[in-house]
Homo-oligomer: A and B are copies of this chain.
Amino acid sequence: MTSDAQSPLVTFVGADTGAWQIERMSVLAGEPIGEAKRLDIQRGVSGPVSCSWALRGAVSHVRYTTREESSNLNAVQPPLGRVEAVCGALIPIRKSAAWWALAQDERRAIYEERSHHTRIGLEYLPRIARKLHHSRDLGEPFDFLTWFEFAPEHAPAFNDLLVRLRDSEEWRYVDREIDIRVRLVG
């Protein structure tokens, strides 16, 4: 595999050290993961020798987004690392075998035409910054790791966004989900 600088891989490490303090970890579906005090986000696949968990994902191309949706998103989506965005959330999810057995058009119809994933997300921009990491092809325990950053005053809006997505048809295919809330300390 290529060197870390070129690698699309990111590792989210739960351990005793890291820039983000873990404030709350909620298991919404499936098996929990171990307790940890801090979250560290690293480029590449190298985790520390001692950690509670190390979840890997790849920054990749869009899988369902059309050009029109992409243009709408690009017009308003904020970057990561804004100084005021000291609240973070890492939400690892896994989707069921039934989801992955669907064809591309069937998954797209559930994702957007019926669950409005992109359309709902757009309503919360630019308050919430978001980055998706793909894990399924890596043989990881989760299929996706989504990382969010927002200012403390937008935490209620972020919770509202999650309630709406979790209420969608798409989420019936989510069989493992952990909601990890963190705060920037380092």
Contact = CB atoms under 8 A, between A and B. Distances in A.
Interface of A: 1-2, 6-9, 56, 58, 60-67, 69-70, 100-106, 108, 134, 136-141
A145 to B, nearest CB: 12
B104 A62 contact: yes
Given A1-B56, A56-B1, A66 B103 contact: yes
Q: Which of A9, A70, A105 has the most CB of B within 10 A?
A: A105
Given A2-B141, A137-B58, A138-B1, A66 B8 contact: no
B139 A103 contact: no
A94 to B, nearest CB: 12
Given A56-B1, A136-B60, A67 B106 contact: yes
A140 B64 contact: no
A56 B139 CA distance: 12
State the number of copies, please.
2
Given A1-B56, A56-B1, A104 B65 contact: yes
Contacts of A66: 103-105
Contact of A103 (B67, B105, B106): B67
A106 B138 CA distance: 26
Given A134-B137, A138-B1, A139-B58, A63 B9 contact: no
Nearest to A135: B137
23 contacts: A2-B140, A6-B139, A7-B139, A58-B136, A58-B138, A60-B136, A60-B137, A61-B100, A62-B103, A62-B104, A63-B63, A64-B104, A65-B103, A65-B104, A66-B103, A66-B104, A66-B105, A67-B102, A67-B103, A69-B103, A70-B103, A104-B108, A138-B138
Nearest to A7: B139
Nearest to A95: B61
